[in-house]
Chains A and B, each alone.
Chain A
């Protein structure tokens, strides 16, 4: 049995015909080969798989493709400019050394974009609270918090 879903991924309209238990992350990684979205756990805890659905951060391991008819999905690949430059939030992470091994980074950046778009001008404490759904084992979060604040300023938030 399959289901067919019409949705937009990184600005491209498409029809996906998949098994009904296909998660968004498995569709992104295994069918579209958009491997920038990572899987770090099996309980929707770590946040490595975070993408934007209609502009809001969603853990893509925890949502079925079949639930996403008509939605706009944006992954880390979708926010990356084609000209080799970086999105202001990506740029802030690089400038602040907000990443080490890079595995949590795409999910962290997507969460950060949602955070500053919906909670602008956050204090340090608010940024830390806002990132609680994303684990990073390398950075101790210190430079991530600075990166989010700097990225927010660059985005005018």
Chain B
């Protein structure tokens, strides 16, 4: 009863959203200016840690154009920003959840913490007035170092005197210890997964309006999940009625995780807007983005891999300290735990795994999910261990992986996940062939002849996407459901508007989702419109993160389409004077099986809205269905990446010569878009490994607070990536057979690059190079090895 013919699925359709983006007709939050617009400026703490003795706002209030000045005292009764995932420590105690005020009350805890909100007729006036605010700070010692935060003498929150948020663990420690005791070889590494700043090119922004006529609020904001934003803001922070607040995330200029969270700024704007009586707009300056967007990664890790004499993995043991920053951001606690430690099996049948995670508070910006979110940290840990073991045991890295791949599915890992499907060997074989690994020796010799060093690095990643199911996530501490909602509104003319709870901020849902819908209904894609990002239009939505949109949101749409077709079948049966069972739906037509009697989809739609000849006694008019879909499992994309670098030993400069990626994303709806997602993920992953690093000094000042100091990847940093989508293994538990592709590149790329750098310098004694592998880092590693 579905359209059998596929006209759009699998095709490289040009994107339908591109015309508006290419012509400047996109509508991003800062593009929206409302009647009687006013502007907000946040005065921020220049100190990483200080007590606020007094705030004097009289002069600011009297400044020209000022409409309001608010400090922590004004919002003392407002709730703190909540964390959506409860993690319990090994001893059973809940994680420490100190209040995260929307404006700092008595203490500031990181540089950039909000101290006052100034609203004025113009941004210039708001900024000028903020300069007149006097804050009397008692500066306190700052805690900024992840590794030593728990040993610091200064407590950032009274609730966590040792700065520890939680100490959590997963796995069978006794089994792991026993395996290490009988291992023929143990590989050990200690490393830092470097802290990153997301840097979506559109800065965060918000524009809040209040309508006195019906006591309702509208918030335009840069969000990946407007419904979640509304729920958290109304129910947990401001105590506003959820149904009187509309959150619109219009065109959003990239997110990468950083726009998932409920932030202080938009919350403060909604709190203030009724008091001001005019719409309030705030747009982050880039320097504010650096200081206040939730950062990513920041783990300090030790890891060990136990192998037997044949090179089979016996056990993996890891201990990591994860920096939460000054406050717990919306999903901070689940990143180093549920999304990190559960991935430590990777693609390998390691029988025993144990991981302990200590999360600490520091006087730095909050840390949360950034593209990959826990999975890049897990992949880096596993793939650096595997590659190092291969070098130590003098086994070809591809061969060592071959000996340890999981071969039978479904596979229940020792860290709680059940992989439904996968086939890893062909991915690695194909990547090895595409990368011409066989020719590497000759290329290395040619480099050496020029005084250069050449290295080849491997990375075989596993990802877990579309976090699910809700009840399992709930048992693990999630405070929200992880389903998705979709609605299909068929119009009388047979045109279709689809409302999805997923949110597109670059992913191209308006195209991919329309491809699915048009094929399912057998109608031209021009007859399908995809709507997202507005709580006033969309029934509900959990939003876009964790590479979940197509697997979860797309399936919700498919479920709604099934209902549309089921009802259409009944309408058609009536029109065709046949029984429901005798009517099938194929290629956009309802027909009586075995006859040429048929009704087109549009005819049935018209009949639903002009029900003159209609089974009104047993069927409601109209053709509008919705569905909620809660997946039964994660999806498990996987891939094999090879990176080849050339290094100048004189300067330590690393050049990426080749990068090869072969990914299994299951079924692919639009290969052009999927390849684009891989390209972007690779650039962020290679950016982490080669260029990017967030640095705070010991006083808690952000040293990498501008594009002059934080090395954003540029076009000239990369070669053309060789990206291939494998035929792959379709996901077995969603009807599309899709797995998710948004984060793969960022997950798989960093260890491939570092493995390549270490491979290039292994003969000279280099065993590890820190990320980012800047010329200084590489040169220093080489000098240390030579000493």
Binds B, one of A52-60, A65-73, A92-100: A92-100
Q: Is A76 an interface residue (CB 8 A)?
A: yes
Q: Are B679 and A142 in contact (CB under 8 A)?
A: yes
Contact A46/B507 with A102-B253, A137-B254 known, Cβ cut-off 8 Å: no
Q: Is the CB of B26 closer than 8 A to any CB of chain A?
A: yes
Chain B 719-765 residues near chain A, CB threshold 8 A: 720-721, 745
A36 and B680 contact, CB distance less than 8 A: no
Give which listed residue, A43, A94, A127, contacts B707 with CB less than 8 A.
A43
The residues of A that contact B720 with a CB separation of less than 8 Å are: 124, 142, 145
Check: A40 CB closer than 8 A to any chain B CB.
yes
- Contact at A138–B712, with CB atoms within 8 Å? no
Which residues from chain A contact B31 at a C-beta distance below 8 Å? 29, 35
Given the known interface contacts A102-B26, A106-B24, the answer about A40 and B203 at a Cβ–Cβ threshold of 8 Å is yes
Are A135 and B201 in contact, CB atoms less than 8 angstroms apart?
A: yes
B721 touches A103 (CB 8 A): no
Complex Cα spacing A76 to B23, Å = 6
Smallest CB separation, B575 vs chain A (Å): 38
B contact residues, range: 35 or more
Q: Specify which chain A residues have a CB less than 8 angstroms from the CB of B14 in the assembled complex.
A: 94-95, 97
Name the B residues within 8 Å of A46 (CB-CB).
201, 286, 707
A155 at the interface (CB under 8 A from B): no
Task: For A90, list chain B residues within 8 Å (CB).
Answer: 22-23
**Bound form: Cα–Cα A76–B676 in Å:** 23
Residues of chain B lying within 8 A (CB to CB) of residue A150: none
- Decide: A138 near B15, CB < 8 A? Known: A94-B22, A99-B21: no
Q: Tell me which residues from 283 to 324 in chain B have a Cβ below 8 Å from any Cβ of chain A.
A: 283, 285-287
State which of B24, B33, B199 has its C-beta within 8 Å of the C-beta of A36: B24
Chain B residues closer than 8 Å to A20, beta-carbon distance: none
B210 within 8 A of A: no
Interface size for A (C-beta < 8 A) is 54
Query: Contacts A43-B708, A48-B201, A141-B683 known; A38 to B714 CB distance under 8 Å?
Result: no
B172 at the interface (CB under 8 A from A): no
Q: Which of B24-64 contact A (CB under 8 A)?
A: 24-28, 30-31, 33
A148 to B505, CA, bound (A): 23
Q: Using an 8 Å CB-CB cutoff, how does the interface string of A130-146 with B read, 1 for contact, 0 for none?
A: 01101111111111110
Given A43-B286, A132-B716: A105 in contact with B22 (beta carbons within 8 A): yes
Interface residues in A78-114 (C-beta closer than 8 Å to B): 80, 86, 90, 93-95, 97, 99-106, 109
CA distance A99 to B23 in the complex (A): 12
In whole angstroms, what is the CA distance A41 to B27 when docked? 18
Smallest CB separation, B639 vs chain A (Å): 15
**B684 partner residues in chain A, CB cutoff 8 A:** 137, 140
User: Given A37, A99, A135, which contacts B18 in the complex, CB threshold below 8 Å?
Assistant: A99
Would A138 and B286 count as touching, CB distance under 8 A? no
CB of A93 within 8 A of CB of B680, answer: no
Chain B residues positioned under 8 Å from A97 (CB to CB): 14-15, 672-673, 675-676
Q: Is the CB of B715 within 8 A of A38?
A: no
Q: Is A139's CB under 8 angstroms from B680's CB? A: yes
Enumerate chain A residues within 8 angstroms of B18, measured Cβ to Cβ. Answer: 93-94, 99, 102
> What is the CB-to-nearest-CB distance from A146 to chain B, in angstroms, rounded to a whole number?
9
Question: In the complex, which of the residues B21, B202, B716, B745 contacts A40, with contact meaning CB atoms closer than 8 Å?
Answer: B202
The chain A residue sitting closest to B504, CB to CB, is A101
**Inter-chain contact A86/B19, CB cutoff 8 Å:** yes
Q: Which residue of B lies closest to A104 (CB)?
A: B201
Give Cα distance in the complex from A38 to B31, angstroms. 9
- In Å, the complex CA distance between A19 and B683 comes to 41
Give min CB distance, B423 to chain A, whole Å: 26
The answer to whether B506 has its CB under 8 Å from any CB of chain A is: yes
Task: Tell me if B251 and A140 are in contact (CB < 8 A).
Answer: no
B200 adjacent to chain A (CB < 8 Å): yes
Query: In the bound complex, how far is the Cα of B672 from the Cα of A142, in angstroms?
Result: 12
Interface membership of B585, Cβ < 8 A = no
The distance in angstroms between the C-alpha atoms of A124 and B718, with both chains bound, is 11
B389 CB within 8 Å of chain A: no
Which residues of the other chain, A, contact B19 by a CB distance below 8 angstroms?
86, 94
A residues near B396, Cβ cutoff 8 Å:
none
A152 within 8 A of B: no
Q: How far is the CA of A105 from the CA of B19 in the complex (A)?
A: 11
By a CB distance below 8 angstroms, the chain B residues around A103 are 26, 28, 200-202, 253-254
In the complex, what distance in Å separates the CA atom of A124 from the CA atom of B252? Answer: 30
CA gap between A145 and B508 in the complex, in Å: 20
Is A101 in contact with B708, judged by CB distance below 8 angstroms? Answer: no
Asked if A45 contacts B24 (CB within 8 A), the reply is no
Measured in the bound complex, the distance between the Cα atoms of B18 and A144 in whole Å is 14
* Bound Cα distance from A88 to B716, whole angstroms: 24
Complex: how many Å from CA A14 to CA B605?
52
Nearest-neighbor residue (CB-CB) of B371 within chain A: A137
Interface check B627, CB cutoff 8 A? no
A40-B286, A42-B286, A94-B15 as given contacts; A77 in contact with B24, CB under 8 Å = yes
Give, as a whole number of angstroms, the nearest-CB distance from B726 to chain A: 19
Q: Residue B256 at the A interface, CB < 8 A?
A: yes
CB pair B285–A42 under 8 Å, yes or no, is: yes
Alpha-carbon distance A140/B719, docked complex (angstroms): 10
Q: Does A24 contact B (CB under 8 A)?
A: no
B23 is contacted by which of A36, A41, A144 (Cβ under 8 Å)?
Answer: A36
Question: Could you tell me the distance between the alpha carbons of A76 and B21 in the complex, rounded to whole angstroms?
Answer: 10
**Interface pair A43/B202, CB less than 8 Å apart:** no
List B contacts of A125 (CB < 8 A).
Answer: 716
Among B26, B199, B712, B715, the most chain A Cβ lie within 10 Å of the Cβ of B715
Q: Chain B residues near A38 (CB, 8 Å)? A: 28, 30, 201-202, 253
- Cα–Cα distance between A143 and B715 once the two chains are bound (Å): 10
Residue numbers in B under 8 Å from A137 (CB-CB): 199-201, 254, 256, 680, 683-684, 712
Q: Is B17 an interface residue (CB 8 A)?
A: yes
Q: Which residues of B contact A127 (CB under 8 A)?
A: 715
Expressed in whole angstroms, the Cα–Cα distance for A33 and B33 within the complex equals: 9
Q: Scoring B residues 5 to 23 as 1 if CB is less than 8 Å from chain A, else 0, what string do you get?
A: 0000000001101111111
Quote the shortest CB–CB distance from A1 to chain B (angstroms): 14
The reply to whether the CB of A9 lies closer than 8 angstroms to some CB of chain B is no
B-side contacts of A100, CB under 8 Å: 254, 506-508, 676, 680
Q: Assess whether B353 is interfacial by the CB under 8 Å rule.
A: no
Cβ < 8 Å to A, chain B residues 587-625: none
In Å, the complex CA distance between A131 and B199 comes to: 18
Name the A residues within 8 Å of B682 (CB-CB). Answer: 140
List A contacts of B497 (CB < 8 A): none
Kindly state the separation between the CA atoms of A95 and B17 in the bound complex, as whole angstroms: 13
Contacts of B497-530 to chain A: CB distance below 8 A: 505-508
| Alpha-carbon separation in the docked complex, A86 to B21 (Å) | 12
Against A, the Cβ 8 Å flags (1 = close, 0 = not) of B654-686 are: 000000000000000000110110011111100
Q: Which residue on A lies nearest to B252, using beta carbons? A: A101
* B254 nearest CB neighbor, chain A only: A101
Q: Once bound together, how far apart are the Cα atoms of A30 and B19, in whole Å?
A: 23
Most buried by B among A33, A43, A101, A141: A101
Residues of B contacting A93 in the complex (Cβ-Cβ under 8 angstroms): 18, 22
List residues of A (21-39) whose CB comes within 8 Å of B's CBs.
29-30, 33-39
Distance A124 CA – B716 CA, assembled complex (angstroms): 9
Shortest CB–CB separation between residue A3 and chain B, in angstroms? 16
Interface digits, A113-135 against B, CB 8 Å rule (1 contact, 0 not)? 00000000000110111011011
Beyond the given A135-B712, A139-B676, A143-B676, could you list 12 further A-B residue pairs with CB under 8 A, ordered by the A residue number? A35-B27, A38-B28, A97-B14, A97-B672, A101-B254, A105-B22, A106-B24, A131-B714, A132-B714, A132-B715, A137-B200, A141-B718
A–B Cβ pairs within 8 angstroms, 29 of them? A30-B33, A34-B24, A36-B25, A38-B253, A40-B203, A41-B286, A42-B286, A43-B286, A46-B707, A77-B23, A77-B24, A90-B22, A99-B18, A100-B506, A100-B676, A101-B200, A102-B18, A102-B26, A103-B26, A103-B201, A105-B22, A128-B714, A128-B718, A131-B714, A131-B716, A140-B684, A140-B745, A141-B713, A141-B715
5 A-B pairs with the lowest CB-CB distances in the bound complex, closest first: A36-B24, A102-B21, A103-B253, A101-B506, A140-B683
